[in-house]
Amino acid sequence: MLKTTFSAAALVLAAAVPAQAHFQLVYTPEVNLERPGELPFRLIFWHPFENGHVMDMGTPESFFVAHKGARTDLADRLSPITFHGVGNAAAAFAATVPVKRNGDYVFGLVPAPYYEASEDIYIQQITKSFVNKGGMPTDWADPLGLPTEIVPLNRPTNVIAGSTFTGRVLANGAPVAGAEIEIEYMAAEPDPDTDRPHPPTAEPMPGGAVVAISDAEGYFTFGIPKAGFWGFAALGSGPDTEHEGKELSQDAVLWIRAYEMK
């Protein structure tokens, strides 16, 4: 049942952490389709709010799509690319995925852990993104059974700018209380034709990363102030805490698309 009160979960803070927030992207430019098509995807580990540093991705552990209860492995569709950020270039992946039938397509990515030398830890951002064809709702609210994930409580492909978005953080299917959720606006969207970012449309907020905290049942809510892609990363929400003898932050990432009302 959707919770209607969130106390601390509804409070968005400027956290005492650096503004440079790591965010795993599973990106395609258009998430609402009227006709069948071949969608270009870019898997990039980046700082899209700052249009900042790009991190090298290793070969993903898995990449798949869920549609009407069926799961399709997409690993064989991945091709390595180089994504050129403003300040550097890094290894990323491209894929072309056919979308034919009506309904929701839920894309799941389990990337290889990334070693962050400045913190001497590994980061693994298990990421979900969504595409819908024909306006028919099917799978968007269903968990994928990932080690950790954020389950949306609002339809993630057509959130109204100025409204709120609610998600629930899970680890092995159980709610995660007190999770710190970093919130990211994709100010610079990738251009699949050039594998470079488009010019940014917003600047990061002062005071560091924008953060919400999940409540006792794992729920959080955030007011969506602007149209575009918004990402949510529940830091360290996963069950795995170590990789190759070092600390692992296993994060759950979710991307949604918001629109202005006309």
Mean pLDDT by 10 residues, the chain (262 residues): 38 39 95 97 95 95 97 98 96 98 98 96 98 97 98 98 98 98 96 96 90 98 98 98 98 98 90
Cα(136)–Cα(238) distance, rounded to whole angstroms?
Answer: 31
C-alpha angle with apex 116: 51 to 55, nearest 5 degrees? 35
The token duo for 51 is 């249009």
- Measured over the CA atoms of residue 27, residue 29, residue 31 and residue 35, the dihedral's sign is negative
β-bridge partners, 159: 258
Residue 239 structure tokens: 């069950």
pTM listed for this prediction: 0.92
Name the nearest CA neighbour of 197 among 208, 212, 187. 187
Domain ranges of the chain: 7-259
User: What pLDDT, on a 0 to 100 scale, did the predictor assign at position 241?
Assistant: 98
* 202 three-class SS: coil
One-letter identity of residue 219? Y
The CA distance from 197 to 89, in Å, is: 11
